[in-house]
Amino acid sequence: MTRPGKQNGPTLYRVTIELSIENPCVPQTEADSSVRAVWDRLSVDATQSRDEPLIAGLVLDLVDGCDDLGESLARLAASRIATPEIGRHVLEKEIRAILVEQPHVLEAVAADLVVSFERNPAYPNYLVPYLFAKGFLGLQIHRVAHEMWNSGRVMAASFLQSRVSEVFAMDIHPAARVGSGILVDHATGIVVGETCVIGDGVSILQGVTLGGTGNEDGDRHPKIGSGVLLSAGSIVLGNVHVGDCSRVAAGSVVLHQVPPHTTVAGVPARVVRHHADSLVPAEQMDQEIDPGAE
């Protein structure tokens, strides 16, 4: 059976999550997340990495040899997902064009890089997640694919999605809407469905599935609020809302609405803790679910 809307480009679903800069569940980063500031920080990190002969050429090509973050990201992304049929230079040109036409994408990229560094103590500088963290780069390629999808370039967007899945082991449908300031840590096994919406400041660990419940049509995937922590191996199924500043414990399966400011755990998941309104689990990255711990 052919589903409605599949013949003539992407199906559009009217889905909204209310976000506000006053929302306490949107983490406030310590560093300047402007595109210029992030590029300057990357350039400094690159300068300090030139003495390592193994990556000196990589740094020269992807940072020192570029004028700005957009040029660098386009070159980096294209180098990772190019194929014999669709080469690096063709992809670089296409990705660069999207970043120039849609400057809000680069703003989200910069915010993602800042929170990736701030939330992961394994990263010694901005350059490590930028060059080597597949969760970071896979998400940025998704952002480009999403813009292509929205403009009706379904096949181009699907190609980018396919390559991210093949190269980075994370599968985000190009129609999925993702906020800014997102940490995608490790990335392996992450699946995000077509009508999923993810708010700002969310942290997503490996093996997370934001999926449907079957073969239904329409708006059928989760809506994740701002400041949410989706712990390793957690699963959220169906058109359910996970409230702002909530936490889904590792290995849990969410089938129903999750209230804001709570931790849910188990299969099926249930509320095991209520948080203070000021707590942002995505920022804290605390995996503790003992009700007496906070």
pLDDT tens-digit readout, 40-78? 999 999 998 888 889 999 999 999 999 999 999 999 999
Domains 30-169 and 189-294 in one fold: no
pLDDT for the residue 254? 98
SS3 assignment, position 247: strand
Residue 294 has pLDDT above 90, yes or no: no
Enumerate the domain spans of the chain: 30-169, 189-294
Q: Which CATH number fits domain 189-294: 2.60.40.10, 1.10.150.120, 2.160.10.10, 3.40.50.2300?
A: 2.160.10.10
CATH number of 30-169: 1.10.3130.10
- Alpha-carbon distance 250 to 266, whole Å? 9
Contact (CB, 8 A) for 242 and 263: no
pTM for this prediction: 0.88
User: For the chain, what is the mean pLDDT?
Assistant: 89
- Alpha-carbon distance 118 to 114, whole Å? 6
pLDDT tens for 259-285 read 999 999 999 999 999 999 999 999 999
